[in-house]
Structure 1
Amino acid sequence: MIESYPLYWPEGRPRTSRGERERSRFDTSFARARDEVVRQVELMTGRYEWMRREAGLILSTNMPLRRDGLPLASARPPDDPGVAVYFNYKGNPVCFACDRWLTVADNMQAIAKTIDALRGISRWGTGDMMEAAFKGFTALPAPTERGWRDVLGLLPGTAPTRADIESAFRRRRSETHPDRGGNSDEFHAVQAAYQQALKEVPQT
């Protein structure tokens, strides 16, 4: 399950190592960069009122969230400055991700500028140019190599109840949460496993 917090990096996209990250020349603040990403997605999708619900916007970082679900500007900068922006464009899920720069704000600004550039292709280019440009930003589904029982720590071949699943999910979510020393990838795997388990095990 893709979430705003903690950072949900898109599957199959390489990461920039800490030593390779650079200081950018962007002149922006965190709040301005965050709001500019939202504005660019609004312009790209044509969704303004109720935009985040309609376009499915998720701005994912390791910054804690405000009440409206967007990253909190006043929070302490995280060790991982990566940003991933997910939304739906013409019915297809897309993702723009950046961790090249040293700060979350600069990576947000880079994504905002990328979306703005693609909007330019839409305005001045041909339709096939736009479609070709967007292929590289398709959001891929998470791999499903491990079964949900394994991810949640339930014995293979068993028939757990909804109560068993809920209990296992709460335990594994606590164990893997990045704020408690866990791993972000494993945390998201637990979320996805829980959703799959609910689909397969009927409510009694």
Structure 2
Amino acid sequence: MIDAFPLQWPTGRARTPKHEIKWGNLNKMPSGRIRSLLVKELQLMGSDGFVISSNVEVRRDGLPYSGQKPPDDAGVVLYFQRKSVDIAISCDAWATADANLRAIGLTIEAIRGMERWGTEEMVDRAFVGFKALPERTIVTPYQARLWYDVLEVSPTASPQIIKAAYRQQLLKHHPDQGGELAAFNEVQKAYKEATS
């Protein structure tokens, strides 16, 4: 299940480097208006529910609490379903969460325009690129973690510390000791990456 807070960035999607973030004002309207325009576009497109995930804390009605400071990470992700397919549209190219949400809304509006103009096949193809990866349904938590996260060491750890952590994690996750095979294999792979 995807939560609205904190931000849950889609697996495999690159983040915008900090030096490329735009400081312009894409969102010359209140947060509530930006959200309501997006919701309207989703309804017109026939989406089956949605979640707006960001580091902005929101009330039950989806509007942000007043008086909170802007988040350090202004990225926003819209998760929704279209024709029973999970879609994730993410944006962190702007300096504010409102601007990123507005960019997502404008994207939905443009894609919906293709649908209105009679090119629904192109819309279906466009949404293939936004398909959410199956992270939400994966049973195992051992997916594409960095070797030092798996071994629970610093990225600059010495070879001796890496080896000690490797042995400790092997014992912890060994199937004969009640551990999961996926975690055990992940530890072996992480050690191989660390020492190659």
Per the normalisation by structure 1, the TM-score is: 0.64
Task: Choose from 146, 166, 169 the match for 2:142.
Answer: 146
| Partner of residue 72, structure 1 | 64
| Structure 1 position 57 matched with structure 2 position 53 | no
Please report how far the alpha carbon of residue 81 of structure 1 lies from its aligned counterpart in structure 2 after TM superposition: 0.5
Please report how far the alpha carbon of residue 34 of structure 1 lies from its aligned counterpart in structure 2 after TM superposition: 2.1
Please report how far the alpha carbon of residue 20 of structure 1 lies from its aligned counterpart in structure 2 after TM superposition: 1.2
| Partner of residue 45, structure 1 | 46
Unmatched tracts of structure 2, length 5 or more = 144-149, 151-168, 180-196
| Structure 1 position 93 matched with structure 2 position 94 | no
Q: Secondary structure at the match of 1:34?
A: helix
* Superimposed CA distance per residue, residues 139-181 of structure 1 (whole angstroms, 9 cap, x where no aligned partner): 112275728xx8xx99423559xxxxxxxxxxxxxxxxxxxxx
Q: Secondary structure at the match of 1:60?
A: strand
Distance 1:125 1:24 in 2: 33
Aligned residues of 1:63 and 1:71 also touching (Cα < 8 A): no
Unmatched tracts of structure 1, length 5 or more = 47-54, 161-204
Structure 2 residue identity aligned to 1:117? A
Distance 1:43 1:113 in 2: 14
The structure number with the bigger radius of gyration is 2
Alignment of 1:24-35 (within 5 A): 24-26=24-26, 27-35=28-36
Counting matched residue pairs gives: 148
Q: CA RMSD in A?
A: 2.6
Distance 2:57 2:25 in 1: 25
Distance 2:106 2:10 in 1: 19
* Superimposed CA distance per residue, residues 78-114 of structure 1 (whole angstroms, 9 cap, x where no aligned partner): 0100000001101110011100011000000000010
Structure 1 residue identity aligned to 2:92? D
Aligned residues of 1:9 and 1:97 also touching (Cα < 8 A): yes
| Partner of residue 7, structure 1 | 7
Q: Secondary structure at the match of 1:40?
A: helix
| Structure 1 position 82 matched with structure 2 position 75 | yes
Aligned residues of 2:31 and 2:63 also touching (Cα < 8 A): no
Distance 1:108 1:145 in 2: 29
Task: Choose from 108, 120, 128 the match for 2:121.
Answer: 128
Of structures 1 and 2, the one scoring higher in RCO (CA 8 A, sep 6+) is: 1
Distance 1:133 1:83 in 2: 19
Please report how far the alpha carbon of residue 67 of structure 1 lies from its aligned counterpart in structure 2 after TM superposition: 2.2
Aligned residues of 1:31 and 1:73 also touching (Cα < 8 A): no
| Structure 1 position 105 matched with structure 2 position 106 | no
Distance 1:118 1:99 in 2: 19
Aligned residues of 2:15 and 2:92 also touching (Cα < 8 A): yes
| Structure 1 position 114 matched with structure 2 position 107 | yes
Structure 1 residue identity aligned to 2:39? V
Distance 2:14 2:106 in 1: 20
Please report how far the alpha carbon of residue 63 of structure 1 lies from its aligned counterpart in structure 2 after TM superposition: 0.9
Go from structure 1 to structure 2 and tell me whether the alpha carbon gap of 1:25 and 1:67 turns closer, same or farther (over 3 Å shift).
closer
Aligned residues of 1:21 and 1:99 also touching (Cα < 8 A): yes
